[in-house]
Structure 1
């Protein structure tokens, strides 16, 4: 299981005296596998633009993966989206991990000038055309002229966000991975079965699975409890109280490692955690300890990874 951390928000950066470069270096030095940033427009919450934040993280580090959780190409002109992704892949030296989604409420799409009802078709079109655009092949976008972007780059892994049936189908037919967040291991296992069946029907290998999680580790004063986190998850994501209580990663690293192992048993090979607590650095360090403990456990059996692209975890 490879484990990454979501970079601190603008509010947390101010609170903890951090910037994105410092946070990314801290995560790399701690031994984590990746750092992540969301893609939000006009949400009312202070946030840095996703591709700029990841460019900062990429230039501040050397080894660690830099990931979008998740990038929304359909709210952008496709060629601009492809150019931003290609630039990140080039700047990072091939370390980009590209979660892709069609999320955000109607207000985000209105702010981007894109009809909300078009989010699905535009996302599918982006997934079909991005690989060619990134590698520098001539591509004709919908209602456009042929375009060739340069320099070409290796296509990063395309991991499709959300736990919906639509997202599973996209992951199985158009992506390299499935990237649901804040679901229980049982729901993940059921989704994996649907993912495998759909990929098999499409004649494609089974995509990798990355799980998005929420963690508040250790017992320092001010660290949210499992009940605190579960209440927020239930309210925001419409989970039952019982399911919401299963989702947070809390307690000491050994306890959290047990929970991560449940997701690994359900088919996940990567976990990306947003962290809550009074000190982002301390949470990243504890998450790295979880990773070390998980890495000492028996390795799950081999899993198919799509050939030709998305090979780098």
Structure 2
């Protein structure tokens, strides 16, 4: 069974509702999870991801709360572990921990602001992933020659490694329970699924799950809105052709067909990332697509 989640809107995107309203709607609509990005200085205003998820957890009971994705290297690893453990306690073990190294489109200003060289983000992410489970669980862990045990310890949440290529696969083999590719076609997911099966066999471990984020604009969305989203996606290094191929638009039934193709290709979870401004309506339509997907 494939799970469907939705990305919460960043600050100021939906003037009609805040984090709590969006979280409650997602849970009431039957979606599996709610997600938020993690940015220190994005192009547009963005609230702190841990506080957004804590707010969402406080007003819900069932829905999982996910980082899509936490940029570990921007934080001292002990503080990151403290945030994750605290959120596990506040949510009742509902955290899904997506982890990434931070994308180039946002530039290096945030990295310079926290004193972390942009070029070292990969190495620092690897080091943090090595230490994170022990710190979250409250076990004595050595950091730079100092042993510390954080309390209260918590259950280490599933780790989903973001990115692509050899670096992502290497991190996944060492630290991940699943991977988090964004804006992928069914063909790309099928190719990744095959590689993950090989990776599991090489390392004698279960095949990692695939959580894929897709950009959605369901219902009556104008061509101008779609074109604007395509331009935004090309800012992440995608070609216009690839950007259009990964968009999910149209009626919920059409979205369900696309989701079924992703599931058949190997996806275990799909996160809808709405781009129209009426995000509450997008969540409702996404829930309709999820319901249609479950129907025989």
TM score, norm. by length of structure 1: 0.88
Q: Name the structure 2 match of 1:110.
A: 112
Contact 1:74 1:119 in 2 (8 A): yes
Deviation at 1:164, TM superposition (A): 2.9
Quote the Cα distance in structure 1 between the aligned partners of 2:42 and 2:240.
Answer: 26
Residues 132-169 of structure 1: per-residue CA shift (max 9 Å, x gap): 1111111112x231111111111111001112331122
Relative to 1, partners in 2 of residues 1:224 and 1:31: Cα closer, same or farther, differing over 3 Å? farther
Q: Name the structure 2 match of 1:289.
A: 288
Deviation at 1:227, TM superposition (A): 4.8
Q: Name the structure 2 match of 1:187.
A: 188
Relative to 1, partners in 2 of residues 1:223 and 1:47: Cα closer, same or farther, differing over 3 Å? farther
- 1:140 and 2:142 correspond: yes
Quote the Cα distance in structure 2 between the aligned partners of 1:161 and 1:217.
Answer: 25
Relative to 1, partners in 2 of residues 1:276 and 1:224: Cα closer, same or farther, differing over 3 Å? farther
Aligned residues: 292
Secondary structure class of the residue paired with 2:80 = helix
Relative to 1, partners in 2 of residues 1:22 and 1:140: Cα closer, same or farther, differing over 3 Å? same
Quote the Cα distance in structure 1 between the aligned partners of 2:224 and 2:249.
Answer: 9
Q: Name the structure 1 match of 2:217.
A: 216
Residues 187-225 of structure 1: per-residue CA shift (max 9 Å, x gap): 1211222222223212221111000110000016x5866
Contact 1:214 1:249 in 2 (8 A): yes
Residues 97-139 of structure 1: per-residue CA shift (max 9 Å, x gap): 1100111432221122111122112111111211111111111
Quote the Cα distance in structure 2 between the aligned partners of 1:33 and 1:224.
Answer: 31
Quote the Cα distance in structure 2 between the aligned partners of 1:238 and 1:23.
Answer: 30
Q: Name the structure 1 match of 2:264.
A: 265
Q: Name the structure 2 match of 1:171.
A: 172
Secondary structure class of the residue paired with 1:10 = coil
Q: Name the structure 2 match of 1:232.
A: 232
Deviation at 1:228, TM superposition (A): 4.7
| Equivalent residue in structure 2 for 1:127, among 107, 118, 129 | 129
Residues 159-190 of structure 1: per-residue CA shift (max 9 Å, x gap): 01112331122123310000010121111211
Q: Name the structure 1 match of 2:249.
A: 250
Quote the Cα distance in structure 1 between the aligned partners of 2:116 and 2:166.
Answer: 23
Deviation at 1:231, TM superposition (A): 4.2
Secondary structure class of the residue paired with 2:132 = helix
Q: Name the structure 2 match of 1:309.
A: none
Residues 86-105 of structure 1: per-residue CA shift (max 9 Å, x gap): 00011000001110011143
Where does 1:151-170 land on structure 2 (aligned, <5 Å)?
151-170=152-171
Of residues 86-95 and 130-139 in structure 1, the stretch that sits farther from structure 2 once superposed is: 130-139
Contact 2:225 2:276 in 1 (8 A): no
Q: Name the structure 2 match of 1:150.
A: 151
Quote the Cα distance in structure 1 between the aligned partners of 2:192 and 2:10.
Answer: 30
Secondary structure class of the residue paired with 2:174 = helix
Where does 1:43-62 land on structure 2 (aligned, <5 Å)?
43-62=42-61
